[in-house]
Amino acid sequence: MKFNNSKVLLGHQGSVLVVRFNNDGQYCLSGSQDKTIKLWNPSKELLIHTFSGHGYPVLDVKSSPDNNHIYSCAERQLYQWDITSGETIRKFKGHSHTINSIALNRDQSILLSGSYDKSIKIWDLKSRNADPIQVIEDAQDSVTSVIVNDDEFEIISCSVDGAIRIYDIRNGKLKYDQLNHALSSIYLTHDKKCLLVGAMNSSIQLLEKKTGDLLNDFSGHRNSIYKLNSCTVFDDSLVVSGSEDNDIYLWDIVEGNIVGRLKAHQNVVTSIDTHPKQHIVISASTDASIRYWDTQQ
- Tell me the pTM: 0.94
User: CA 17 to CA 165: how far, in whole Å?
Assistant: 25
Provide the pLDDT confidence category of residue 172 given band limits of 50, 70 and 90: confident
29-53 per-position pLDDT tens digit: 999 999 999 999 999 999 999 999 9
CATH topology of domain 14-225: Methylamine Dehydrogenase; Chain H (2.130.10)
Domain ranges of the chain: 14-225
User: CA 231 to CA 238: how far, in whole Å?
Assistant: 8
User: CA 39 to CA 115: how far, in whole Å?
Assistant: 25
58-73 per-position pLDDT tens digit: 999 999 999 999 999 9
User: What's the confidence (pLDDT) of residue 180?
Assistant: 81
Sheet of 46-52, strands arranged across: 16-21, 28-32, 36-41, 46-52
Q: In the chain, which ranges are continuous DSSP H helix?
A: none
88-119 per-position pLDDT tens digit: 999 999 999 999 999 999 999 999 999 999 99
